[in-house]
Amino acid sequence: MNQSPLLSLLEEKPGAFVSGEEISRKLNVSRTAIWKQIRKLEAEGYVIEAVPRLGYRIVERPSRLSPTELANRLTTRSFGRHLRVFDAVPSTQDVLRELAEEGAPEGTLVLAEQQTKGRGRMGRSWVSPAGKGVWMSLLLRPSVPLHMTPQLTLLAAVSLSRAIARVVPLEIGIKWPNDLLVGGRKISGILLESAAEDERIRYVVAGMGISVNLEEQDFPPEVLEKAISLRMAAGRPVDRVEIVAAAMEEFEKLYELYAAQGFAPIRALWEAHSVTLGRPATLQTPHGTIEGIPLELDDLGGLRVRLADGSIRTVYSAEVGDR
């Protein structure tokens, strides 16, 4: 990507202000055009101070996800070892899906600084501004039948919550199936998309979004009520490379455990991190809304819920809300 001329000008004298007049003259652009370019740099993660009469200066640069640095930090066997990092893509899910179709190996990881069409569960969009989060998709080629994919969703949630807690000392709760919450607000979401032939899984694209260094203004107001970033929760910026490396390590470890011992140990870990079990909830399922108390997971990863009449219903897809 070519560096913007405005950025080059601001970087000529690090820390010093460059006046609007000088910028207009040197770049031959209007004040409005300068302002637009400043906004663009801010959207890419630059923090630019603007002071009347003095001009503009860079106070913070976006940290870049460096593939070399990441490769140096990884201690995994295969997860993250085939790595592609992009500046901006519509969604890392689609990029990885294409690589999967071309035969990419298990553990291939696609990361993007920014997603322009990041997507979440239930057809929602996912806020993915540049340089501020971990937006990544990991390729799995599990040898389990398709109806067991909910287990992988829960495995992903446990892996990410352990990884984040390793880097930032926060209490992370998992809301069924795979939302990670801090103080009741969402810090990370997971989206698994699979390709299958009948009951045989060809591959799974495990999409993970972690709001690492977003600030309040990076969230749309309606999202901010329910979301938070690691930076906001911890009160300091967090190293994204460390988060990715920890996520790959935890995910690989639990995936190997799952291959060796099945779902039981994953289920126990999930239940220990859950903020859903035992609390009255409203569940919006594709077949309507139900109210009850989620009790436990079933063997496939479904949620067993006790309804008001005492009967038990198992749910495999739902949005869980408080009651």
Residues that bind ligand BTN (CB under 6 A): 91-93, 115, 118-121, 124, 126, 128, 135-137, 179, 189-191, 207-209
Hey, what are 185's tokens? 């607000």
Residue nearest to ligand BTN (CB): 189
Nearer to ligand BTN, 174 or 297 (CB): 174
Cβ neighbours for 294, distance < 8 A, ≥ 6 positions apart: 176, 276, 277, 278, 279, 281, 283, 303, 304, 305, 320
CA 19 to CA 202: how far, in whole Å? Answer: 57
Nearer to ligand BTN, 37 or 159 (CB): 159
Work out how close the CB of 246 gets to ligand BTN at its nearest, in angstroms, rounded to a whole number: 17
Contact in structure between 129 and 166 (CB atoms under 8 Å): no
Nearer to ligand BTN, 63 or 137 (CB): 137
Nearer to ligand BTN, 44 or 179 (CB): 179
Work out how close the CB of 282 gets to ligand BTN at its nearest, in angstroms, rounded to a whole number: 18
* Tokens 């039981």 sit on residue: 264
Work out how close the CB of 125 gets to ligand BTN at its nearest, in angstroms, rounded to a whole number: 8
Work out how close the CB of 227 gets to ligand BTN at its nearest, in angstroms, rounded to a whole number: 10
What is the torsion angle, in degrees rounded to the nearest 10, for the CA atoms of residue 244, residue 119, residue 237 and residue 255? -20
Task: Order the strands of the 83-89 sheet from edge to edge.
Answer: 83-89, 109-115, 134-140, 200-210, 185-197, 179-182, 173-175
Nearer to ligand BTN, 4 or 317 (CB): 317
Work out how close the CB of 92 gets to ligand BTN at its nearest, in angstroms, rounded to a whole number: 4
Contact in structure between 214 and 223 (CB atoms under 8 Å): no
